């Protein structure tokens, strides 16, 4: 029993060591299924009158194994093997656990729950994929059964009374495994093992070579595909503390930047809300009614000397004209451009035309007034519109539908 506790402690150590190096697995990850077969024979000649010498009776067997790897080191499997008639059995004696004298093809069976420990990964570490060749230890407890009842078991070796039908077994062995293919989904192994009848001596449960078989089997295993896309464990991508600190610093910078953007966005949203309120107030004002006898619209756009660029301060007057034309869908407006008397006649004519065109361009592009409803005309230089000479650098508006 001391050996059992030692092996369990070693397996627990393997779990803790390997769990830190691989990614977590889902419930249905790292399962496998396999078949195996081989030969078994008794280890020692029986001194109880129920057996023979080493390799006198050789029993073929075949079985199935289903298991799961919990880490690259530790796993569990359920295994069941059936044993066939002895190859050299000629009488009512036999020298291995699973021999009997029945006439059936299958003489006995053994079903075990076994733990597996991958020594290659334990001592060499797991690098993200299985090695081409690995060595693993197997150990477990099971239930043995001889078919044919007491008559079948009466002459089987290693029972004190030579008539046990059901008995507690234990198995320990070594797997020499070869992982095949690019994905290493397939594995073949050779397994020498010892199987004990723990109840054979009738002196309590104990390991005794006089009540044990040596078994040599070969097997084939298929490992099912995992949620990580492979048929095996993947190594976790661990990061050192300096890298983690650097990533945290970047995250904090991004958070601060996001907070600043939120403040800017809040300010812009407030500005939009203020403008919307102002526009709503404007829409509430009574619509402008053009006098029936007037064709000249009052707003004018003033320009700087020698310039045809509309300044921001003049946009309010243009907006009034745009509002007028939206309220009067049938209105067609003529824009007249003027220049003050300074400068040559040709220059002032061109400047007056450019001023009228600049105002039309704003009405069309900014306030979406149809260009078909607007006409422009350059009036050249004048000092007759206003007494103040500078006031004659203007553009005026006339409703031509009146």
Q: Would you state the pLDDT for residue 297?
A: 81
Do 216 and 302 share a domain, yes or no?
no
Do 211 and 305 share a domain, yes or no?
no
Do 101 and 196 share a domain, yes or no?
yes
Label residue 294 by pLDDT band (50, 70, 90): very low
Label residue 23 by pLDDT band (50, 70, 90): low
**259 belongs to a structural domain:** no
As a whole number of angstroms, the distance between CA 338 and CA 378 comes to 6
**288 belongs to a structural domain:** no
Do 302 and 212 share a domain, yes or no?
no
Domain count, the chain: 2
User: Cβ distance 179 to 149 under 8 Å?
Assistant: no
The mean pLDDT of 277-302, rounded to a whole number, is: 70
Domain end, chosen from 194, 223, 252, is at 223
**284 belongs to a structural domain:** no
The mean pLDDT of 350-372, rounded to a whole number, is: 92
**243 belongs to a structural domain:** no
The tokens describing 42, both together, are 């008794």
Do 63 and 206 share a domain, yes or no?
yes
The mean pLDDT of 146-169, rounded to a whole number, is: 59
Q: What is the pLDDT of residues 2-13, one digit of tens each?
A: 454 454 554 444
User: Residue 125 pLDDT more than 70?
Assistant: yes
**167 belongs to a structural domain:** yes
Do 189 and 327 share a domain, yes or no?
no
User: Residue 399 pLDDT more than 80?
Assistant: yes
Do 194 and 103 share a domain, yes or no?
yes
Do 78 and 172 share a domain, yes or no?
yes
Domain end, chosen from 174, 198, 223, is at 223
**196 belongs to a structural domain:** yes
How far is Cα of residue 53 from the mean position of the Cα atoms in its chain? 60
Label residue 25 by pLDDT band (50, 70, 90): low
**267 belongs to a structural domain:** no
CATH number at residue 369: 3.30.1330.60
Do 27 and 138 share a domain, yes or no?
yes
Please spell the DSSP secondary structure of 155-217, one letter per residue. T-TT-SSS--SEEEEEEEEEEEEEEESSS--EEEEEEEEEEEETTTTSSSS---GGGEEEEEE
As a whole number of angstroms, the distance between CA 67 and CA 18 comes to 18
Where helices occur in 47-182 by DSSP H, the ranges are 119-124, 149-153
User: Residue 226 pLDDT more than 80?
Assistant: yes
**102 belongs to a structural domain:** yes
Do 346 and 217 share a domain, yes or no?
no
CATH number at residue 26: 2.40.160.20
Do 74 and 207 share a domain, yes or no?
yes
The mean pLDDT of 308-323, rounded to a whole number, is: 91
Domain end, chosen from 223, 240, 270, is at 223
Q: Which of these ranges, 90-99, 118-127, 200-209, has the smallest mean pLDDT?
A: 90-99
Output the CA torsion sign for 172, 178, 182, 185. negative
Q: Would you state the pLDDT for residue 285?
A: 59
Show the domain range for 110: 2-223
């Amino acid at each position: 029993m001391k050996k059992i506790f030692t092996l369990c402690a070693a397996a627990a150590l393997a779990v803790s060591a390997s769990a830190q190096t691989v990614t977590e697995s889902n419930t249905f990850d790292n399962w496998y299924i396999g078949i195996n077969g081989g030969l078994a024979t008794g280890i020692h000649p029986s001194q109880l009158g129920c057996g023979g010498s080493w390799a006198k009776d050789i029993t073929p067997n075949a079985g199935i194994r289903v298991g799961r790897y919990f880490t690259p080191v530790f796993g569990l499997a359920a295994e069941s093997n059936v044993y066939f008639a002895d190859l050299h059995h000629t009488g009512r004696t036999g020298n291995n656990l699973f021999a009997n004298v029945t006439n059936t093809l299958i003489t006995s069976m053994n079903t075990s729950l076994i733990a597996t420990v991958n020594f290659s990964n334990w001592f060499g570490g797991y690098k993200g994929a299985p090695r081409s060749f690995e060595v693993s230890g197997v150990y477990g407890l099971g239930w043995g059964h001889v078919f044919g009842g007491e008559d079948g078991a009466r002459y089987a070796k290693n029972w004190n009374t030579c008539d046990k039908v059901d008995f507690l077994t234990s198995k320990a062995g070594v797997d020499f495994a070869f992982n095949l293919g690019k994905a290493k989904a397939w594995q073949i192994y050779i397994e020498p093992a010892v199987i004990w009848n723990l109840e054979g001596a009738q002196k309590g449960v104990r390991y005794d070579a006089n009540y044990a078989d040596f078994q040599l089997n070969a097997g084939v295993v298929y490992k099912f595909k995992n949620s990580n896309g492979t048929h095996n464990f993947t190594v976790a991508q661990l990061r050192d503390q300096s890298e983690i600190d650097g990533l945290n610093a970047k995250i904090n910078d991004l958070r601060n930047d996001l907070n600043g953007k939120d403040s800017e966005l809040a300010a812009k949203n407030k500005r939009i809300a203020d403008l919307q309120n102002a526009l709503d107030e404007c829409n509430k004002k009574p619509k402008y009614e053009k006098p029936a006898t007037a064709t000249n619209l009052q707003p004018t756009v003033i320009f700087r000397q020698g310039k045809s660029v509309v300044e921001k301060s003049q946009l309010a007057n243009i907006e009034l004209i745009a509002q007028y034309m939206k309220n009067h869908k049938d209105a067609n407006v003529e824009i007249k451009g003027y220049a003050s008397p300074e400068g040559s006649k040709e220059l002032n004519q061109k400047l007056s035309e450019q001023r009228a065109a600049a105002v039309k361009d704003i009405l069309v592009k900014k306030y979406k007034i149809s260009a078909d409803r607007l006409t422009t005309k350059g009036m050249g230089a004048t000092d007759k519109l206003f007494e103040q000479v500078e006031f004659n650098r203007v553009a005026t508006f006339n409703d031509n539908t009146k």
